[in-house]
């Protein structure tokens, strides 16, 4: 075990990913992540100097749409799935103040 | 502000967001029309429905290239989008599609004037991204409502180097950017409606220092005045901290222009760690030399070119040309109206004096102008033909400015035509002379000015519709004659 | 021979010949599903009424001569991460347990156009994260060949439904082996197309740069025919590729003369179950006898595929799953204080442990200070893996290997040790990193009666080569698809 995940780190990852873990879940998460990172570290055996990171596998590029309005009013369909709506908007807990 | 003898220098860099004037959003075929009932301009893509995928609007790339070229940037030959991850309800996917690693343009500059001296403000980079939705705070219910109409409206963000040193330079830079972008037709750049927004990065340092101080970022600045006030306010706040031996904290602050005070926008839940990575749902944009040439060829005339041409073609002075070309909208009105009436200098006068006065008076911007060049041209024709006199013309222009009124019809319907009929004037003049013996005597005694009073009385009696030259001439003649 | 044991193409032919109606076929599949579902649980949603109604409409179109394609009228199932307008689409997650999409996935539209009668949505590992279909919020699917064993995953529901004759074919999705591995475990044919061949529009994303939709079928001919309807250039998916030749059924030729087949040494060495190894060697021998050139070679970098894959897939997943936040659709926690607490409670209650594990890993590897060390390193490794395949395809037309290190494990064995479960993906994930097409074809059974699957990997856009090799093997052996005992229901 070379990777150590601290309480602060797991707390921080929880903030980034918006997940709230119980005490026990946190311990499990730390152990799982340490184990996984140790395993991922075998990538360090590979010399990747000068290798361009490959985000897209095929050289497909310049895929565009023309600037033409194609969509109508989808409001009702879209709002139908809202867990909470008010009038014609999605409702969420107050974001400021 | 007491600086205890120390001199401070303000260092400012700007992040300017500009909404592009496309018909549709950046990644879907929804309309970008301003206003509209909440959530009516939405679809699976711009509301982040599971399974939806973005497809890039080509016009966005072309506008971005045009702005990049006009601001002397290098266009990135292989450009990519990245995801910026953060949770907020105005951001339906909880990531914003933006560009970090390979932005569309880099290393540009614009030239501004600072205290009469030319100065370059360098542009670090410019990237394309999507706008967020709108949050409406319900004061009574203690909730927030989300409207995704604006979600996915295309933006470019222009990030300057920290090259500005004062609010004046910042305003001058913003005005310059606005002129360039409006000229390109890439955006209307309305600060009030938010189609141009600036975040201000500001730090202070002791004069002469080569190190930068810790900077803060200020958001929510929606007018030039607010920007100037925020810069002063933040500069003073930072100096006070330094004077008190306290550190400036690197943070994002929200400017409240009513209270003239900024607040830290901090929360334990905002880690400000955006975990950018290449957007896998979009493919790279590869820009060829030919494409750049094509965009350059399509580029409309820039302001400096237009200014020179106006001086040459319309024979108007440098001063006029500068004012008129300051806004492309005014310049367009000028050209159309001048073509219609054939009197460019007269048109220019109306634009420089009355139009700008009324804009200022109504707190409007040139893009809010509603009158047609045709009506302005007609007004010039009416005045030049002597059909109306200049004071009536001013009144008529106000109507044109307000409602795009047809001046010919307005003059006709309101009986504003100048009375050139000697017979009608004669009786009025006789009455004025009879009623004002003192003034008549004064004039005769050599007081030239007394005639002015008499002309005024005559014009008043004619309800302003007489030709003043004619009245003056006839009065003089009548006074002289009245003696013999 | 009963209607249920027909292949999709055979059934469609009988429907065209008016021997069977689409309605009868749909009803037969529904009856079979009702009989076996308590034991197998392939479906999250079985839409009985809707299916019969659609079958009637399709039957009418067939009778009117409007629908004449080779799959018209055939009942099919769709993995529950493919959107169908108005129908529950859950990704087997609590967070989408009430979600009805407002549009239909392009892959589904394509099979609907070909006359598919969609019976329902199949169970899967939650958000396709898992190799056993045990991470489903709705409970696990069981292997029709032996209900004590898993069907594999994440498309376990689709593969079990085909194996248990609850439909004639199904759609799956494959991000790191999610079609091929459960196809192997369930003894059916599954194909993961070249990246960009099938539109991802409407596929609820796991790892966007790796995800592909593909067919799960009873035999190679069905598989080719389904792929032919699935493949399309879709302007709604920017990563969709415009392909010239998508007449995959043209490749149904029993001929491998001169075909160069390479077997990576690392794919048949340590860690591979002996029975699976033997089955593979038997396949190689058969193809060699039919005129193929078969040799072992060193693919290299095999052990680096899993760590690279888990970094990339988890990173993309952490971002793709951010939209599930209780604001626009799906589950929202009942009790919360303020916005961020609402997010956290909704997501903590809405996602299962495996999904949370990958979201956290993904968030971590992308976070400030780790991006270069993990994410970029993984993208560089991906580039090297692609190069290794490019070199291999200079020498070979097809790469032959196993689809999984063993046959299907028992329920409950895999989730105890996540890392061990991930290691089971060793033969499949590299294909997704390199965007290649690959196919899993039944190659016998082990001593316990569990199916063994072989995997054929092709160069980009060379699905036809895979289909030809698989078809040749299938013709030479007795068709490997046999009704599993446990799946026996009504027939």
Probe site for chain B from A74, A81, A82, A85 (most B CB atoms < 10 A): A74
Mark residue B260 as left, alpha or beta (left: phi above 0; alpha: psi -120 to 50; beta: remaining).
left
Question: Are residues C248 and C466 in contact, defined by beta-carbon separation less than 8 angstroms?
Answer: no
Spatial contact of C369 and C363, defined as CB atoms under 8 Å apart: no
Which residue range(s) make up the domain with A24? 7-45
The residues that bridge with B261 in the sheet, in sequence order, are B256
Task: Out of C154, C173, C183, C318, pick the active-site residue.
Answer: C154
Q: Residue C131 in contact with residue C152, Cβ under 8 Å?
A: yes
- Whether A86 maps to a domain, the answer reads no
Note if C410 is an active site residue: no
Catalytic site includes residue C363: no
- Integer Cα distance of C227 and C232 in angstroms: 10
Answer whether residue A58 is part of any domain.
no
* pLDDT at res. B138: 81
To probe the interface with C, which of A12, A47, A57 has the most C CB atoms within 10 Å?
A57
Indicate which CATH number applies to the domain containing A16.
Answer: 1.10.20
- Residue-level pLDDT at B478: 81
Query: How many C-beta neighbours within 10 Å does residue B113 have?
Result: 12
Concatenated DSSP letters for C160-221? HHHHTTSSSEEEEEESSSTTHHHHHHHT-EEEEPPTTSS--TTBPPSSTTT-EEEEEESSHH
- Would you say residue A95 lies in a domain? no
**Catalytic-labelled residue, pool C79, C121, C192, C382:** C79
ipTM above 0.95, yes or no: yes
Nearest residue on chain B to A60, alpha-carbon basis: B283
Residue A39 included in any domain? yes
A52 occurs within a structural domain: no
Beta bridge pairs of residue B79: B285
Closest-CA distance of chain A to residue C200, Å = 15
Q: Is the dihedral of CA C263, C269, C271, C273 positive or negative?
A: positive
Phi first, then psi: give them for residue B466, nearest 5 degrees.
-85, 160
Where do we find the tokens 């609907």? C112
Residue C340 and residue B51: Cβ atoms within 8 Å?
Answer: no
pLDDT for the residue numbered B385? 86
B30 with A71: Cβ contact below 8 A: yes
Structure token pair of residue C487: 């799946």
In degrees and rounded to multiples of 5, residue B56 shows phi and psi of -75, 135
Give catalytic status of residue C42 as yes or no.
no
pLDDT at C491: 44
Q: Is C370 on the interface with A (CB under 8 A)?
A: no
Indicate the SS3 state at residue C40: helix
N-term to C-term CA, chain C: 9
In A, which residues are within 8 Å of C348 by CB distance? 19-21
Cβ separation B143–A68 shorter than 8 A: no
Find which of C97, C236, C332, C348 to mutate to test the B interface (most B CBs within 10 Å of its CB): C236
Question: Could you tell me the fold of the domain covering B422-483?
Answer: Arc Repressor Mutant, subunit A (1.10.10)
The tokens describing C255, both together, are 């001929």
Contacts of C368 in chain B (CB under 8 A): 273, 275
Instruction: Say how far residue B248 (Cα) sits from the centre of its chain.
Output: 34
Cα torsion C284, C290, C292, C295 to 10°: value is 30
Angle at C234 between CA B105 and CA C432, to 5 degrees: 80
Distances, alpha carbon A94 to alpha carbons B265, B266, B438, C333, C341, in Å: 15, 16, 77, 16, 12
Residue C435 distance to chain A (closest CA, Å): 6
Cβ–Cβ of A75/B57 closer than 8 Å? Answer: no
Which helix (H) or strand (E) segment holds residue C382: the answer is: helix C377-395
Q: How far is C433 from chain B (nearest CA, A)?
A: 13
Residues with pLDDT less than 50, chain C: 486, 490-491
**pLDDT tens digits, chain B, 484 residues: what are they?**
444 568 999 999 999 999 999 999 999 999 999 878 999 999 999 999 999 999 999 999 999 999 999 999 999 999 999 999 999 999 999 999 999 999 999 999 999 988 889 999 999 999 999 999 999 998 788 899 999 999 999 999 999 999 999 999 999 999 999 999 999 999 999 888 889 999 999 999 998 888 999 999 998 788 889 999 999 999 999 999 999 999 999 989 988 888 888 888 766 677 789 999 999 999 999 999 999 999 999 888 888 888 889 999 999 999 999 999 988 889 999 999 999 999 999 999 999 999 999 999 998 888 889 999 999 999 999 998 888 888 889 989 999 999 999 999 998 888 788 776 677 778 888 888 888 888 888 888 888 888 888 888 888 887 777 777 778 888 888 887 765 4
Domain C3-253+475-487: give its CATH code.
3.90.1300.10
Which of A19, A53, A54 is opposite residue C359, by nearest beta carbon?
Answer: A19
In chain A, residues with a C-beta closer than 8 Å to the C-beta of B22 are 67
Identify the active-site residue in C178, C232, C406, C440: C178
Q: Which residue of A has its CA nearest to C460?
A: A58
Neighbours of chain A (3+ CB pairs under 8 A): B, C
Confirm if B194 and B222 have CB atoms less than 8 A apart. Answer: yes
Nearest CA in chain A to C321: A17
- Looking at residue B466, its pLDDT comes to 78
Mutate to test the interface with A, among C377, C386, C388, C435 (most CBs of A within 10 A): C377
CA–CA separation, B317 and B17 (whole Å): 35
> Could you give phi then psi for residue B14, rounded to 5 degrees?
-120, 145
Domain locations in chain B as residue ranges: 8-291, 301-413, 422-483
Q: Are strands B252-256 and B261-264 parallel, antiparallel or unpaired?
A: antiparallel
| A43 contacts C307? CB cut-off 8 A | yes
Provide the pLDDT for residue B95. Answer: 98
Residue in the block written with tokens 């001929």:
C255
Distance from CA of C81 to the nearest CA of B (A): 9
Does the residue A62 lie in any domain? no
Assess A31–C contact: CB distance below 8 Å, yes or no: no
Q: How many domains does chain A have?
A: 1
Instruction: Please name the residues in contact with B118: beta carbons below 8 A apart, sequence gap of 6 or more.
Output: B111, B112
């Amino acid at each position: 075990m070379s990777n150590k995940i601290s309480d602060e780190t797991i707390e921080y990852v929880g903030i980034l990913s918006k997940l709230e873990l119980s005490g026990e879940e946190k311990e499990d998460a730390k152990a799982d992540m340490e184990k996984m990172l140790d395993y991922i570290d075998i990538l360090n055996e590979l010399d990747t100097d000068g290798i361009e990171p490959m985000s897209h596998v095929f050289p497909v590029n310049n895929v565009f749409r023309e600037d033409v309005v194609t969509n109508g009013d989808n409001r009702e369909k879209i709002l139908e799935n809202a867990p909470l709506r008010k009038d014609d908007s999605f409702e969420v807990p107050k974001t400021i103040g | 502000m007491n600086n205890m003898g120390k001199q401070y220098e303000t260092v400012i860099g700007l992040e300017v967001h500009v909404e592009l004037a496309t018909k549709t959003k950046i990644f879907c075929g929804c309309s970008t029309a301003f206003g509209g009932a909440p959530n009516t301009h939405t679809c699976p893509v711009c509301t982040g429905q599971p399974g939806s995928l973005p497809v890039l609007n080509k016009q966005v790339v072309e506008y971005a290239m045009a702005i990049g070229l006009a601001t002397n940037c290098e266009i990135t030959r292989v450009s990519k989008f990245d995801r910026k991850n953060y949770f907020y309800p105005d951001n339906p996917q909880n990531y914003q599609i933006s560009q970090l690693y390979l932005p569309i343009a880099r290393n540009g500059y614009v030239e501004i004037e600072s205290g009469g001296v030319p100065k370059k403000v360098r542009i670090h980079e410019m990237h394309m991204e999507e706008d967020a939705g709108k949050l409406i705070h319900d004061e009574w219910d203690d909730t927030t409502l989300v409207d995704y109409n604006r979600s996915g409206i295309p933006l470019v963000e222009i990030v300057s180097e920290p090259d500005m040193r004062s609010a004046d330079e910042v305003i001058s830079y913003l005005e310059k950017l606005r002129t360039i972008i409006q000229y390109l037709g890439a955006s209307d750049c309305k600060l009030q409606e938010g189609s141009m927004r600036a975040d201000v990065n500001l730090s202070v340092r002791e004069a002469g220092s080569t190190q930068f101080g810790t900077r803060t970022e200020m958001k929510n600045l929606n007018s030039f005045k607010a920007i100037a006030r925020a810069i002063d306010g933040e500069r003073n706040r930072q100096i006070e901290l330094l004077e008190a031996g306290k550190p400036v904290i690197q943070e994002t602050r929200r400017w409240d222009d009513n209270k003239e005070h900024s607040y830290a926008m901090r929360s334990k839940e905002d880690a400000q760690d955006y975990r950018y990575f290449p957007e896998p749902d979009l493919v790279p944009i590869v820009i060829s030399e030919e494409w750049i040439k094509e965009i350059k060829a399509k580029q409309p005339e820039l302001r400096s070119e237009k200014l020179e041409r106006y001086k040459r073609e319309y024979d108007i002075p440098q001063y006029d040309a500068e004012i008129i070309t300051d806004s492309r909208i005014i310049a367009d009105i000028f050209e159309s109206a001048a073509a219609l009436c054939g009197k460019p200098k007269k048109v220019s006068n109306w634009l420089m004096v009355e139009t700008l006065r009324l804009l200022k008076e109504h707190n409007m911007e040139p893009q809010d102008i509603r009158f047609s060049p045709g009506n302005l041209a007609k007004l010039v024709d009416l005045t030049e033909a002597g059909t109306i006199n200049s004071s009536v013309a001013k009144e008529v222009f106000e109507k044109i400015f307000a409602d795009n009124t047809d001046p010919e019809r307005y003059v006709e319907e309101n009986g504003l035509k100048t009375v050139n009929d000697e017979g009608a004037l004669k009786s009025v003049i006789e009455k004025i002379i009879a009623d004002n013996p003192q003034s008549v005597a004064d004039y005769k005694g050599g007081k030239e000015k007394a005639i002015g009073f008499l002309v005024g009385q005559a014009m008043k009696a004619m309800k302003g519709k007489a030709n003043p030259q004619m009245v003056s001439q006839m009065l003089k003649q009548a006074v002289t004659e009245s003696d013999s | 021979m009963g209607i249920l044991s027909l292949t999709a193409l055979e059934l469609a032919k009988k429907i065209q010949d008016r021997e069977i109606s689409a309605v009868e076929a749909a009803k037969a599949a529904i009856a079979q599903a009702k009989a076996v579902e308590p034991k197998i649980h392939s479906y999250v949603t079985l839409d009985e009424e809707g299916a019969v109604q659609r079958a009637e409409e399709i039957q009418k179109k067939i009778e009117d001569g409007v629908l004449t394609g080779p799959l018209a009228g055939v009942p099919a199932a769709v993995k529950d991460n493919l959107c169908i307008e108005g129908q529950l689409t859950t990704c087997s997650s609590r967070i989408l347990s009430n979600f009805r999409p407002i549009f239909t996935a392009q892959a589904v539209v394509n099979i609907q156009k070909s006359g598919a009668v969609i019976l329902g949505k199949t169970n899967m590992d939650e958000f396709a994260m898992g190799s056993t279909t045990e991470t489903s919020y709705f409970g696990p699917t069981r292997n029709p060949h032996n209900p004590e064993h898993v069907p594999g995953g994440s498309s376990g529901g689709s593969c079990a439904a085909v194996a248990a004759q609850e439909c004639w074919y199904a759609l799956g999705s494959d991000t790191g082996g999610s079609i091929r591995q459960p196809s192997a475990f369930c003894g059916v044919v599954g194909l993961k197309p070249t990246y960009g061949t099938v539109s991802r529009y409407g596929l609820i994303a796991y790892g966007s740069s790796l995800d592909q939709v593909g067919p799960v079928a009873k035999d190679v001919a069905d598989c080719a025919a389904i792929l032919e309807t699935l493949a399309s250039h879709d302007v709604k998916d920017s990563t969709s590729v415009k392909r010239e030749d998508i007449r995959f059924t043209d490749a149904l030729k029993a001929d491998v003369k001169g075909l160069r087949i390479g077997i990576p040494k690392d794919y048949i060495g340590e860690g591979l179950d002996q029975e699976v190894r033997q089955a593979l060697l038997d396949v190689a021998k058969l193809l060699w006898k039919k005129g193929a050139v078969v040799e072992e070679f060193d693919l290299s970098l095999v052990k680096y595929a899993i760590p690279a894959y888990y970094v990339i897939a988890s990173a993309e997943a952490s971002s793709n799953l951010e939209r599930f936040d209780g604001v626009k659709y799906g589950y929202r926690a009942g009790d919360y204080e303020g916005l961020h607490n609402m997010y956290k409670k909704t997501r903590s209650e809405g996602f299962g442990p495996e999904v949370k594990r990958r979201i956290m890993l993904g968030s971590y590897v992308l976070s400030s200070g780790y991006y270069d060390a993990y994410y970029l390193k993984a993208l560089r490794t991906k580039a090297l893996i692609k190069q290794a395949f490019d070199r291999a395809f200079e020498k070979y037309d097809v790469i032959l290997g196993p689809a999984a290190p063993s046959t299907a494990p028992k329920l409950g064995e895999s989730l105890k040790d996540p890392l061990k479960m991930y290691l089971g993906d060793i033969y499949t994930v590299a294909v997704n990193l390199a965007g290649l097409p690959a196919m899993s074809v039944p190659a016998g059974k082990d001593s316990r009666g569990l199916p063994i699957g072989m995997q054929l990997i092709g160069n980009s856009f060379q699905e036809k080569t895979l289909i030809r090799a698989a078809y040749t093997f299938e013709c030479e052996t007795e068709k490997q698809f046999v009704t599993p005992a446990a799946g026996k229901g009504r027939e």
